[in-house]
Amino acid sequence: MLLKALSKIPFSLSCYTNKVKTINYIVDLCKKGRASYDVLYDEAVSHFDSDDPSNAHNPLNCETKIGFRYIDKEDLRKAWQEMAEKDG
C-alpha cells in the first residue's frame, strides 16, 4: 500500500509543477501586456500540457490518478481579475 502511494509522487509533482508553470507564464506575460488572457492561457496549456493520453503531464491523467486537473480557464481568469484589481 505504501509502495503504491509512493509510486504516485513523481506523477503528482509533475502535475503540480506544470500547474505552477502555467500560472506563472500567464501572470508574467499578462502583466507585460503581451497578449489577451485567452491567448496566453492557450499558449501556456500548449507549452506545459499535451493531449496525448500516455503523456504524464496530460491534465486528464492528473485528474484520473490524483484527483487534480489543470486550473480551469474561467477559475484562473477570475483569480487573475481579482489580483489585477487589487494590485492595480
The pTM score is: 0.67
pLDDT tens string 17-33 = 778 888 889 889 988 99
Rounded distance between C-alpha atoms, residue 23 and residue 44, angstroms = 8
- DSSP secondary structure letters along the chain: -HHHHHHTHHHHHHHHHHHHHHHHHHHHHHHTT-S-HHHHHHHHHHHH----TT-TT-HHHHHHHHS--PPPHHHHHHHHHHHHHHH-
pLDDT tens string 53-76 = 666 555 556 666 666 666 778 888
